[in-house]
Chain A
Amino acid sequence: MTFTKQEKIACVFLLILGVFGPILFPGYTFQIAVLWIMILFAQTWDLLGGQMGYNSLGNIFFFGVGMYICAITQIGLFYDVGIYTAAHGADTAQFSSDQYYIGIFSGLFFAAIGSAILSVFLGWAVFGLRGPYFAIGTLGVALSAGELIGAWEWVGGGGGIALPVFPGSGDAKSIFFYILCFLSATMTFLFLKWLYSTRFGLALNAIRDDEDKAESMGLHTLRYKTIAWAISAFFLGITGGLFGNMTGFIEPLEVAFPTITFGIFMVAMCLLGGKGTFWGPILGAVLFHFIKEATWIYFLGWQWIALGVIIILNIIFFQQGIMGYLQEKFPHWFGIEVEDKSLNQTNKVENSQ
């Protein structure tokens, strides 16, 4: 795992934003925390979509699964989940400070593990699909999960679950979750940076470029794909657990499995920044989040149209994204060598002979 000079500068910038952001702009703590979640979304999506070439539209599934597993653990450790959800939560149940912290940390733990395990089983079902079929198949999984949870009364059904209340002031709560979001994003960042430096990273690229070839060379392609998805699910599960607790109330369609908002944002952020590059998704997430918040403030009522226009322009005119564009224009910045144009000419002559 090595960082170039530019990468170090970018890391320092992110670190400064991470540490001083909420101190300098305390009113925006929640928004900056969501920014870290967005970066995590983009990076975990890019692990499959960019590095491995499997465009999933259903990664949000693991976000929702993590959210529900975390919530059920938090409640189930101390109360009967069915009774709790039937009574619509917090008004009948009280969580002490200890119970809260034990609940949330074990909840996040099980959310991560549970999502990862589920992704392995799901992988067996969907990794036979390729290209657009994989995208639609995974989208179907996310959509149906939302509907299924909505019909499952034990976990509150469509009415959702009110989560245990944070034992402390509002400010303490936002700082607590801010730190957890920042740590999760940092963990994901470092883990993926390391992962891409191993054989695993290269195998993912090989699967992206030509999976049949990779199979014919004896790579355990299904194993690589499943593990990649499990890694993605692991981190998304944690994020789901965190986000559920940040909002305080979860329900299946809008919060846990928001396929058309977060589910699409993941893809849009990677496309904007440049999928398949390490920094593209991060840059894309920062820009996208910024644009999204700006449109919500200044174009209220038109915000979805503005976002839609950006996504459409991005896809029609700028598919390679920002980092992809820079990589084409200035390959030497990225340590990619290209052939000298003059050399190319002589080669063409040689080949045509």
Chain B
Amino acid sequence: MTYSIEVKNVSKSFGGVIANQNITINVPESRITGLIGPNGSGKTTLFNSIVGYHPIDQGSIKFRDQEISKKTVQQIARLGLLRTFQQTRIYGQINSIKNMLISVSHQNTKFIDMFKPYPVELTEKAEYFLEFVGLYKKRKLLSGDLSFGQQKLLEFAMALMNDPKVLLLDEPTAGINPTLINGLIDRLNRANTEFKITLFVIEHNMRVVMNLADNIYCLAHGELLAHGKPSDIQSNPRVIDAYLGAH
């Protein structure tokens, strides 16, 4: 099996707080991998380490066999490794179409491209993805006026617009209306199958992650606790302990 992301023995601490200790994780290509763990277990820190938000203390992170632990956020993003945020981040004072257009991949842009207008095909592509997440009707509204759930969908659509190879999603269903969650699971699955995007998902909602991921990593207290198929994880006593606080 080939791996998109290989995290090997990564540690990260903030002052005296050890957020990640000796973590080794492999994210297989074109699959959906889940990452679970109680609050404060270091999931988001691991995401931040992978996408280059802060330098790691030790270990190595490879993206498609290329070492990325020394690269900047922008360089990693341009390689096709994107993330979405737990606290949704969109460009609030421009409309959704513009949010989409500016999210086009900067991987192969030349200097002069900055001063060109957007071709019509890109607007069509933006509209296609907005339709895909169900925001087509609201595409011309200022995105700051959208509801939180809609902004979350927009952020997801923006990530798709970038044609990433791997997408790290930080709690994609948090704050989303429960009736819409099934639709979102379906879209995440389609992003994986139709658009061939490898997904690595932090998720608290067990129902979602069990339905979505084909293998799951569990963190607790900054260490890797378990890894396996959803069914194994669900019945793993250590995972249950961690979640119920017996640890």
Chain A residues packing against B (C-beta within 8 Å): 195, 197-200, 202-203, 205-206, 208-210, 212-221, 223-224, 227, 276, 336-339, 347, 350-351, 353
Contact = CB atoms under 8 A, between A and B. Distances in A.
Interface of B: 51, 73-74, 77-78, 82-83, 85, 89-95, 98, 101-103, 105-107, 113-118, 138, 140-142, 144-145, 147, 149, 158, 162, 177, 179
A217 B77 contact: yes
B103 A217 contact: yes
A224 B179 CA distance: 41
8 contacts: A205-B94, A206-B91, A209-B94, A210-B91, A215-B77, A217-B106, A218-B105, A339-B145
Nearest to B147: A351
B47 to A, nearest CB: 11
Nearest to A344: B145
A216 B98 CA distance: 17
Contacts of A217: 77, 82, 102-103, 106, 158, 162
B73 A216 contact: yes
A219 B149 CA distance: 25
A213 B90 contact: yes
Contact of B93 (A208, A218, A338, A347): A208
Contacts of B103: 217
Contacts of B145: 338-339
Given A216-B83, A218-B106, A337-B140, A199 B90 contact: no
User: Which of A205, A206, A210, A339 lies at the interface centre, i.e. has the most chain B CB atoms within 10 A of its CB?
Assistant: A206
Nearest to A339: B141
A223 B74 CA distance: 12
A209 B77 contact: no
A336 B118 CA distance: 19
A339 B101 CA distance: 21
Q: Lowest 4 CB-CB distances: which A-B pairs, in order? A: A218-B77, A209-B91, A213-B89, A218-B78
A282 to B, nearest CB: 20
A214 B92 CA distance: 12
User: Which of A208, A221, A337 lies at the interface centre, i.e. has the most chain B CB atoms within 10 A of its CB?
Assistant: A337
Contact of B107 (A215, A218, A353): A218
Interface of A is mostly: helix
A217 B90 CA distance: 11
Given A199-B113, A202-B102, A217-B158, A347 B147 contact: yes
Contacts of B83: 216
B117 A203 contact: no
Nearest to B117: A198
Nearest to A218: B77
B178 to A, nearest CB: 9
B156 to A, nearest CB: 13
Given A199-B113, A212-B89, A216-B83, A206 B102 contact: yes
Nearest to A195: B115
A90 B51 CA distance: 62
A338 B141 contact: yes
Contacts of B113: 199
A205 B98 contact: yes
A199 B82 CA distance: 21
A221 B102 CA distance: 12
A227 B51 CA distance: 26
A30 to B, nearest CB: 36
A114 B211 CA distance: 61
Nearest to B162: A217
User: Which of B83, B94, B114, B141 lies at the interface centre, i.e. has the most chain A CB atoms within 10 A of its CB?
Assistant: B114
Nearest to A224: B114
A226 to B, nearest CB: 12
User: Which of A200, A218, A223, A351 lies at the interface centre, i.e. has the most chain B CB atoms within 10 A of its CB?
Assistant: A218
B75 to A, nearest CB: 8
B89 A210 contact: yes
A206 to B, nearest CB: 5
